[in-house]
Structure 1
Amino acid sequence: MTCFAPEDRVRVSPRHLGGAGLNRLTDALSPLIHPFGWPRSATPRPGASPSTAPTAASSSTSPPSDPADRWWTVAHHEPYWEVQFCRQTPIEAIAAVTQALLQLVGDTRHAERILSASTLTETADLSAWTTTTKGPATVFPSPDEHCRPVHEPDTEVPWRFEPSLFDGFDTHWTATLTRDAPEQLVTQFFAHLASNDPVERVFNEVPFLVQLDDGALITPASGATVNPPHPPLRRPDRPGARRPTPETMTATSTLPERLLALGANFTRHHDVLQSITLLRGPNPAGNLLRHIPAIQSLAREALEVSDALRAAPRLYHSPDVRAAMERSLQLAALATFAADHLIDTVDILQNAAHARRAEAVARHGEALREAGRRTTLAGRLTSLGAEDCLATTHLLACELHRQRLAPAHRPQAFSPAQRTALEAVAAGHITLDRLLDKPQVQRGGARVTISTIRSLEARGLVHREPCTLVLHDERVHLTPDGCRTLAAALGQPRSTTPATERPVARPTATATRAAAR
């Protein structure tokens, strides 16, 4: 859980993950309009913001319908070239380009403070960005490898910048420079993008996945010294060195086991949100507030699994491995959105509680209805989390077995009924009714008996926990040994013939004689 409030001012590094800084859009144009006297003209397009137009180049900004569309355009007419930026492009790098436009029209004032004295390659070396060649293209990966500028000189758009945090929501942005764009603009843009100095943002402007990512450094912009919520970005000691690779497993669990444990936590979270007592009592906002850190930890755990997969040594990023990484990111995004809905719910309930006495009764009922709606939506966002974790575990376990990277753990022998029960438990489908002494399967067509559950308990593969759901006394979860056993079994091909199947009966003598006639 982060220690920052939504309106806190923070400093974010690296810059390419800091977001646009939308509260500072004017920083890109104000230096041109005020100190240098560039004219300001309105564009005829409805909803578009002002643009500046010198004699040879123009700069404009227009809010598009899609955040991935172009937001800024800088164009030159003779010869024609164009620079475009999407919404999440850091405003500091855009301002570096617009201020460099002054030199194109012969205005050399303050040039020593505006222009970078280094070439692009020198800037990359100084900032620990590497340089690699792939055929005709040159790539400049950042130390965290989330930003990879590409230069292809023989194309119409020779420069492309497309950073993202594992293609996560609202972390992707694009900047392009067409043929004949001055190298000075590229150098300026890259120098301000690769700078080790952090950028200042309002915390709620920082993309959600960046807020949770351990590779981003987020610190207070001012005030007392406090411990930052994330460790600083590790940079290589020399250009060309790769970043350190984190461990792919903890001291006691592999990545498939961690996914199964994450699925159990999603089930626990969903049970809490389904509880009818959550919004009752004297302090419903407090009940929700106590649960928010748990769901935020789900997002962090899912991101850690994706990071560990990406950095796993000797693991080939096959389509199945990439799918596992993407599914982990989706789980993190869904948990983050669910946490946001719960935070909004707390605000609604607290505002209703502080209403004047005359309005208290009406506002309290309305607030409870809206809180119930948002809580239900948060539950729906994560209701399939355990099933998704099980499916991802199966995908990853099979791929690790195929690449011969699976841990040397031989799965215990168990019957098809026991394996079916283990998978149903991992998917969060099994609860127990103590009165009837029988398991209840909430979803799926699996048939699970109480004797099967007891046999798995006797082997230490499952255990029971109290369940908050109505008419469901206990929830069945996998133990650490159960996670290890199921993860190992999922990587093995499943037998098509159950071991308990009876042999085919011999034909009777009467049938044999009838066939012979």
Structure 2
Amino acid sequence: MTFSVPNRIPAASEDRSFEGVPRAWEIFGPMVEHFGWELYQAEGFLAVGCPYSSLGFRLDLRRKEAASWELEHRIPHWFAQFSRHTPVEALGLMVYSLPQLQGDTRFAESIGFLPTGVSEAAADARWAASRTPGGIEFASPDGHSSLRYMPRSIGIHTMWAFRGYNTEHNRAWEARFTQGTPAPLVARFLTTLTTTATGERRTPLGGATPLPALETALTSGVRR
């Protein structure tokens, strides 16, 4: 099915199917308004895509399985899946970093440049590391999140697997990144879990208001 790009960017709150994820628009709105990504919408479905590559991010509430958020790069193919209660702050800051994978560094100084590697990011964020039979496991300082690294995964199978507990919704969540996912992107997701959990960054509610890091860049006069 093809989803056309609407002339007007609607707030997710206008679609009753998004009532279970009221802050979804905080991720999609800024990607369209400030980075020029294309919007696709249908009932229970929102997606943004990079206009000059095969990279996209979507929220699909029509699916009954746990993974509601998906990040996909088609050529070469890799993807990541996130369950519905994955913290919106962590997702948002990771998604705002996606243009950097395409060489677009606008707002990067305020949002933060992508980390170089996962092990380095984990050490900087004080995640404890321990060896397991299949790889390495990292645990967040607050004990709410963990990451398993499985370097022997083959093909498109999961290489990085997160588990966590969303204290805002009192729900467990999961995320997985497949073989081929750029390590700096996994590292960014890890660091955003740490900073949002410690209160360093919070997402304001309402409309298409960007997260504080991007809002700072915009109000400082930085423009496309």
Q: Same fold (TM over 0.5)?
A: yes
User: Matches of 1:24 and 1:147 in 2, distance apart?
Assistant: 21
Q: Which residue is 2:10 aligned to? A: none
In the TM superposition, what are the counterparts of 1:131-210 in structure 2 within 5 Å? Answer: 131-155=129-153, 156-164=157-165, 170-195=170-195, 197-198=198-199, 200=202
Deviation >4 Å, runs of 4+:
199-202
Matches of 1:117 and 1:154 in 2, distance apart? 23
Query: Per-residue CA shift, 1:385-419, capped at 9, x if unaligned?
Result: xxxxxxxxxxxxxxxxxxxxxxxxxxxxxxxxxxx
Partners of 2:49 and 2:202 lie apart in 1 by 28
TM-superposed CA distance for 1:121, in Å, is 2.6
Instruction: Choose between structure 1 and 2 for higher RCO, CA contacts under 8 A separated by at least 6 residues.
Output: 2
1:52 equivalent to 2:48? Answer: yes
Letter in 2 for 1:171: R
Question: Is the contact between residue 115 and residue 121 of structure 2 (CA under 8 Å) also seen in structure 1?
Answer: no
Q: Does 1:23 align with 2:19?
A: no
Matched to 1:161, the amino acid is F
Partner residue, 2:34: 35
Tell me the SS of whatever aligns to 2:61: coil
**3-state SS of the aligned residue for 2:105?**
coil
Shift of 1:76: 0.6
**Which of the two has higher C-alpha Rg?**
1
Q: CA offset at residue 105 of structure 1?
A: 2.5
Counterpart secondary structure, 1:27: helix
Matched AA of 2:148: V
* d(CA) in 2 for partners of 1:137, 1:81: 20
- Name the SS of the counterpart of 1:72 in structure 2: strand
| Matched-pair contact (CA < 8 Å) for 2:45–2:62 | no
Contact 2:89/2:203 (<8 A) preserved: no
Q: In the TM superposition, what is the alpha-carbon distance from 1:77 to its structure 2 partner?
A: 0.8
* Identical aligned residues as a percent: 26
Corresponding residue to 2:100 among 86, 98, 103? 103
Whose helix fraction is larger, Structure 1's or Structure 2's? 1
How far does residue 124 in structure 1 lie from its aligned partner after superposition?
2.4
State the alpha-carbon separation in 2 of the partners of residues 101 and 146 from structure 1: 25
Distance (Å, rounded) in 2 between the aligned partners of 1:65 and 1:84: 13
Mapping of residues 186-265 of structure 1, within 5 Å = 186-195=186-195, 197-198=198-199, 200=202
| 1:63 matched to 2:53 | no
Structure 1, unaligned stretches of length 5 or more? Answer: 1-20, 203-517
Contact in 1 for aligned 2:81/2:176 (Cα 8 Å)? yes
Cα separation, 1, equivalents of 2:147 and 2:178: 14
Counterparts of 1:183 and 1:52, CA distance in 2:
22
2:220 corresponds in structure 1 to: none
Q: CA deviation at 1:154?
A: 1.7
Q: Provide the secondary structure at the position in 2 that maps to 1:194.
A: helix
* Alpha-carbon distance change, 91 to 170 in structure 1, aligned in 2, over 3 angstroms: same
Cα gap change, 1:105/1:122 in structure 2, threshold over 3 Å: closer, same or farther? closer
SS in 2 for 1:162: strand
Shift of residue 149 of structure 1? 0.7
TM-score, normalising length: structure 1: 0.31
User: Would you tell me which structure has more strand in proportion to its own residues?
Assistant: 2
8 Å contact from structure 2 (residues 60, 69) kept in 1? yes
2:89 maps to 1:92: yes
State the alpha-carbon separation in 1 of the partners of residues 203 and 27 from structure 2. 15
CA RMSD, Structure 1 to Structure 2 (Å):
2.6
For structure 2, which runs of at least 5 residues remain unmatched after alignment? 1-19, 205-224
Residue range with higher mean Cα deviation, 188-197 or 107-116? 107-116
Q: Would you say the 8 A contact 1:141–1:149 is kept in 2?
A: yes
CA contact (8 A) 2:54 2:73 kept: yes
1:165-187 CA deviation, whole Å, 9 max, x = no partner?
8xxx9521111111101112101
The alpha carbon displacement at 1:64 in A equals 4.3
